[in-house]
């Protein structure tokens, strides 16, 4: 549906706005055919499509390891996990399309560098311990971010999140289980796990976005019920959840400032390198160019599939027209 259809006629704006505000305050869902403020629609399109792009680009760092998984069992698990991420991307593009944007256009925005995706996927995976640490920390951070989004105010986004979160939980557990096994192994395997944790810890904390003081859109997103928690609140939750898991695993977290604070009832921890975050999110991370190039190549290679699917659909549509 074109954007202009959603704009209320002059004079009715206020009534529509009151209806919208009442629904959001009552924690009712806003559905695609409901009136919504243009800023709300734009914010959702940006957030959902960037989330979709992150799922699709996120297939690359781990996908590289499918062919060299250490056992058939690990290969089957990793294959299933990477395939899930493709599914997450598709649910999310479908949710974005209910807001009147076209999936093909969103893909173009990604491969032309006009839209961002999660900074975490611009770091390299150096060995198989990285697969475990991505499952544990990166999917763990995704769960912290996404569980509250099951209650986000836009219906299609919230419903997509329910299914995605169930699968993310499997992703997190398979990662942790892999690391548990490696920690029971040789000294060299334990060192691989520690090295991977040291490399992924800070980028995982950056996944929650900039500090609240540097996140100007957060307040509006909270008021619209798009966001449920602030970036810093989610980051804190993630740290508190992860520290006991690291202890159980027997790995250290690379932050000398990390300590339990009795007064606050949660952990104190150090500040991620926000300059690095800005560099990576602006396209200058270690793997940005490679990730986008591969996405572009896959899109171009898949052109014949899209053309064939459209031709097939057209053929069936005209066959139906004849028989009706």
Judged by the rule CB under 5 A, the positions of this chain that interact with Fe ion are: 55, 85, 88, 139, 168, 171
Q: Which two tokens stand for residue 294?
A: 């591969």
Residue 6 or 118: which CB sits closer to Fe ion? 118
CB 104 to Fe ion: min, Å: 22
User: Long-range pairs for 288-294 at CB < 8 Å and ≥24 separation?
Assistant: 288/122, 291/57, 291/60, 291/121, 291/122, 292/110, 292/111, 292/113, 294/60
* Interatomic CA distance for residues 91 and 162, integer angstroms: 11
CB 170 to Fe ion: min, Å: 8
Residue 55 or 97: which CB sits closer to Fe ion? 55
CB 295 to Fe ion: min, Å: 16
Residue 37 or 63: which CB sits closer to Fe ion? 63
Helix, strand, or coil here: 286?
coil
CB 145 to Fe ion: min, Å: 11
CB 139 to Fe ion: min, Å: 4
Residue 171 or 291: which CB sits closer to Fe ion? 171
Are residues 269 and 172 in contact, defined by beta-carbon separation less than 8 angstroms?
Answer: no
Reference 136, options 90, 188, 182, 91; nearest CA is: 182
Output the CA torsion sign for 132, 133, 134, 139: positive
Residue 88 or 295: which CB sits closer to Fe ion? 88
Q: 264 φ, ψ to 5°?
A: -85, -20
């Amino acid at each position: 549906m074109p954007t202009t259809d959603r704009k209320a006629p002059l004079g009715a704006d206020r009534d529509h706005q009151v209806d919208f505000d009442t629904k959001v305050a009552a924690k009712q869902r806003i559905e695609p055919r409901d009136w919504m403020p243009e800023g709300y629609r734009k914010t959702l399109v940006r957030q959902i499509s960037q989330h979709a792009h992150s799922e699709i680009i996120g297939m690359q760092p781990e996908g590289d390891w499918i062919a060299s998984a250490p056992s058939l069992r690990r290969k089957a698990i990793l294959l299933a996990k990477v395939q899930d991420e493709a599914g997450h991307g598709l649910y999310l593009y479908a949710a974005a399309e209910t807001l009147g944007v076209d999936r093909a256009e969103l893909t173009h925005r990604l491969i032309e560098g006009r839209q961002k995706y999660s900074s975490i996927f611009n770091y390299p995976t150096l060995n198989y311990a990285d697969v475990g640490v991505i499952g544990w920390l990166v999917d763990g951070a995704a769960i912290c971010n996404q569980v509250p989004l099951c209650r986000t105010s836009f219906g299609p986004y919230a419903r997509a999140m329910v299914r995605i979160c169930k699968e993310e939980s499997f992703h997190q557990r398979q990662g942790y289980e892999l690391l548990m096994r490696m920690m029971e192994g040789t000294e060299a395997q334990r060192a691989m796990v520690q090295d991977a944790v040291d490399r992924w810890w800070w980028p995982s904390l950056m996944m929650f976005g900039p500090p609240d003081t540097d996140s100007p859109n957060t307040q509006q997103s909270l008021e619209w019920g798009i966001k449920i928690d602030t970036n810093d609140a989610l980051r804190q939750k993630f740290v508190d959840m992860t520290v006991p898991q690291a202890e159980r695993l027997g790995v250290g977290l690379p932050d000398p400032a990390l300590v339990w604070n009795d007064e606050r009832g949660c952990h104190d921890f150090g500040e991620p390198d926000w300059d690095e975050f800005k560099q990576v999110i602006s396209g200058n991370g270690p793997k940005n160019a490679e990730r986008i190039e591969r996405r572009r190549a896959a899109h171009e290679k898949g052109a014949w599939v899209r053309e064939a699917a459209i031709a097939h659909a057209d053929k069936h549509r005209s066959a139906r027209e004849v028989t009706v």
